Amino acid sequence: MSRAFIIDTDTASDDAVALIMALRWPDVEVKAITVVDGNVPVDQGLKNALYTVELCGSDVPVYRGADRPLVRQPAHAEWFHGPDGFGGQNYPAAKRSAESLHAVDALIEHIKANPGAVLVTLGPLTNVALALSKAPEIAGMVSRCVVMGGAACVVGNVTPAAEYNIWVDPEAARIVFHSGLPVEMVGWEHCRGDAVLTDAEIAKVRAIDTPLARFTLDCNQTAIEAYHTQTHEVGLSLPDPVTMAISLDPGTVVKRMSAHYVEIETQSELTRGMTVVDQLGVAHDERNRAVWSHLLQRQPNAQVCWEVDYPRWKEILYSVLR
């Protein structure tokens, strides 16, 4: 029996690889792809999503969503993903078009039509927050909400404190984390270190020599260079595909995950978008009443991923590209 997936994305280079993974996974049926403003302007993200879907030979419906965060100005990441989000490869427009329904309404419609679906978010959470504000009941209709976003007690990638997806629209992220959705937070840290494709592993992907394998590397050329500039690490870092691997096969990819209270910082410019993870449970410990009295009723609202089986995630990637 197939599992229903709904994917919200700000489609740039790593998002596209994650879409390929879901569209190629044997027991997953992607019911809808919704596009949000983020890595690139929403219309470019829409174009990229349609191209990726067509490359996979899929007819999954694609929907255009919010063109800006809830209250902030748009903040794109072309410096990392290239002017078109695909490393400046100038791929042609897809032959098919997006659906006419707005992504927010599409999220509501597809979640209600597929109770128990897995919702995977790969970009800022604007579309999801708007859908929850319009139809809060959908929070209880999703079996998992796997969020590529945040940084659990580690350094951020857009500021010292925050990961890009959460930083772009922290108000939306706060709505989502407090909505009752079964959030599984996969932080930016899980795409670093041993998660990065080394030069030898990049060569392994190149040797697969299928259209999807070639596309995976070609559209990420700017990202490889930008990641090295940002972190001084060498290789291809793929946060959205790591998150998708966890969505597809959590039983083998996730080595450690636990429930925690997570708050999103929206007030401070210094720590805007920080995912404040109560790792030790101090915020609802009666012994800390004098310090945390305003938080003592805050129970865990997310499963936080702490450890990933990196060889397994890479094998999943190779398998869908063959």
Q: Give the 3-state secondary structure of residue 19.
A: helix
Q: What are phi and psi of 255, to 5 degrees?
A: -95, -30
Q: pLDDT (tens digit, 9 = 90+) per residue, 215-233?
A: 999 999 999 999 999 999 9
DSSP state, residue 102 = -
The pLDDT tens digits of the residues spanning 166-215 come to: 999 999 999 999 999 999 999 999 999 999 999 999 999 999 999 999 99
Kind and range of the H or E run holding 213: helix 211-218
Q: pLDDT tens-digit profile of 104-124?
A: 999 999 999 999 999 999 999
Q: At what angle do helices 126-134 and 170-177 cross, to 10 degrees?
A: 50
**Which pLDDT does position 298 carry in this prediction?**
76
Class at the top of the CATH hierarchy for domain 3-321: alpha beta
Q: pLDDT band for position 1 (50/70/90)?
A: confident
Q: Which two tokens stand for residue 239?
A: 């946060």
**Please, what is the average pLDDT of the chain?**
95
Q: How confident is the model at residue 292 (pLDDT cuts 50, 70, 90)?
A: low
Give residue limits of the domains in the chain.
3-321
Average pLDDT of the segment spanning 87-92 = 96
Specify the residue for token string 């919704």.
34
Query: What pLDDT was estimated at residue 293?
Result: 55
The neighbouring-strand residues paired with 5 are 30, 118
User: Is 6 in contact with 120 (CB distance < 8 Å)?
Assistant: yes
What is the percentage of the chain residues whose pLDDT exceeds 90? Answer: 93
What integer pLDDT is reported at residue 281 of this predicted model? 83
Which residue from 145, 256, 270 is spatially nearest to 190, judged by alpha carbons? Answer: 256
pLDDT at site 111 = 98
Contact 125, 173 (CB under 8 A): yes
Angle at which helix 13-24 crosses helix 42-55, to 10 degrees, equals 40
- pLDDT value, residue 53: 98
Report the alpha-carbon angle 218-6-322, nearest 5: 35
